[in-house]
Structure 1
Amino acid sequence: MKIMEYMEERFQNLEFIPSIYNQWSIGIHFCLGENIYQLKEKEELNLKRFQVVYEQITIIFNELFEQNDDIFLVTNMYKHKKEKSIRKLKVYQPFLKCKNHLNQILVKTYPYPFEIDKAEEYKMQQFSLLCKPRDLRVTELLKAASNEDFPLKPKFGGYSIDYPDVFFVNITKDIIFFIYDDCGCEVIALDFKRIRPLYEKYHDWVEEYKCM
């Protein structure tokens, strides 16, 4: 199965771009970091905040994904049209336990999805890999997704103009999880029953939710 075949069947008309929560009628938007500011005095990074964020996103991931679930790991890379192709190795290699999976990654090119000046000069390459959580270095992957705006490691590589957006698509449970940066993450689902326990257990982290 390819990612777009799955999406057309289960999440029709949803675009893999930030703010998936705003595109879907069932979901949870979490705030991360417990109001701890990212910087200390003299602009020093407040590592306590990031440790809290890492713990929160790990908890959320583990509530949503089991090791044997079938998932798509989807990554959007944004680039100038004139640049050479982005090597998928830089997108996935550090986070795959078995390098043989690199040969299974699919890529498709789309128009640049955001409204900016001269948007026609850019494009989006979307990589997707069908795998299981056990195939991934999940801890490092989650940290890299939340380290977007700060000089922390691990980081995603291979990007040219914008930091990559990474989506975890659980096709076993029909759930999509997206960390947009250290400030928050989004979860959407076909059925709110799938994510209700998450909402009830971690209600203090919830900024808003929809359960239509």
Structure 2
Amino acid sequence: MNLIGYMEERFQNLELIPSIYNQWGTGIHFCLGENIYQLKANEELNLKMFRVVYEQTSILFNELFEQNDDIFLVTNMYKHKKEKCIRKLKVYQPFLKCKNHLNQILVKTYPYPFEINKAEEYEMQQFSLLCKPRDLRVTELLKAASNEDFPLKPKFGGYSTDYPDVFFVNITKDIIFFIYDDRGCEVIALDFKRIRHLYEKYHDWVEEYKCM
């Protein structure tokens, strides 16, 4: 099974780009960081806030994914068309436990998905890997997704245009998990029953939800 075939069958018309929650009828939008500001009064990074975010994303991931689930790890890379293509090695290598998986990564190029001036000069490369959570350094992946706007490590490698977006697509449970940055994350599912427990257990983190 490939990513395109799975999405066409289970999540028709959904684009794997930021704001998956707004595109789908069943999901939860979580607010991260418990309203703690990212910077201290002296403008230094508030590492306490980031530790809270890391803990929250880890809890949510472990509630949604079991080590043996089949998942697609999907990474969107945004680039100027004239910019030299990046090797998939630089996209996934730091977060894979077994480097043999690098040979299984697929990539497809799409039009740039955001509204900006001269958008036609840019494009999106979408990398996908069919694997299991046990194959990944999940903690590092979650931190890198949360560290988007700040000089913290780990970070995703990428082009100069935009920070990469990473989606965890659980094809065993038909759930998609996306951390957009340190402020929040989105979970969508085919059936709200699959994620109802998150709403009930972590209601204080919920920004909004839909259960059509």
TM-score band, normalised by shorter chain: over 0.9
List structure 1 segments (4+ residues) > 4 angstroms apart after TM superposition.
none
Report if aligned partners of 1:87, 1:158 keep a CA contact under 8 Å in 2: no
Q: How many angstroms does 1:202 deviate by?
A: 0.2
Q: Using structure 1 for the length normalisation, give the TM-score.
A: 0.99
Q: Deviations over 1:2-26 (max 9, x none)?
A: 1010000000000011000000000
Q: How many angstroms does 1:152 deviate by?
A: 0.3
Q: How many angstroms does 1:73 deviate by?
A: 0.3
Tell me the C-alpha RMSD between the 2 structures. Answer: 0.5
Aligned to 1:106: 106
- Using the TM superposition, name which of 178-187 and 35-44 deviates more: 35-44
Report if aligned partners of 1:75, 1:165 keep a CA contact under 8 Å in 2: yes
Aligned to 1:159: 159
Q: How many angstroms does 1:158 deviate by?
A: 2.2
Q: How many angstroms does 1:41 deviate by?
A: 1.8
Q: Secondary structure at the match of 2:103?
A: helix
Q: Secondary structure at the match of 2:79?
A: strand
Q: Using structure 2 for the length normalisation, give the TM-score.
A: 0.99
Q: How many residues align?
A: 212
Quick one: percent identity of the two aligned structures?
91
Q: Distance in 2 between matches of 1:75 and 1:94?
A: 13
Q: How many angstroms does 1:151 deviate by?
A: 0.2
Q: Distance in 2 between matches of 1:41 and 1:35?
A: 15
Q: Secondary structure at the match of 1:130?
A: strand
Q: Distance in 2 between matches of 1:68 and 1:143?
A: 22
Q: How many angstroms does 1:143 deviate by?
A: 0.2
Aligned to 1:208: 208
Unaligned runs of 5+ in 2: none
Q: Distance in 2 between matches of 1:120 and 1:19?
A: 21
Q: How many angstroms does 1:42 deviate by?
A: 2.1
1:137 equivalent in alignment to 2:137 = yes
Q: Deviations over 1:98-122 (max 9, x none)?
A: 0000000000000000010000110
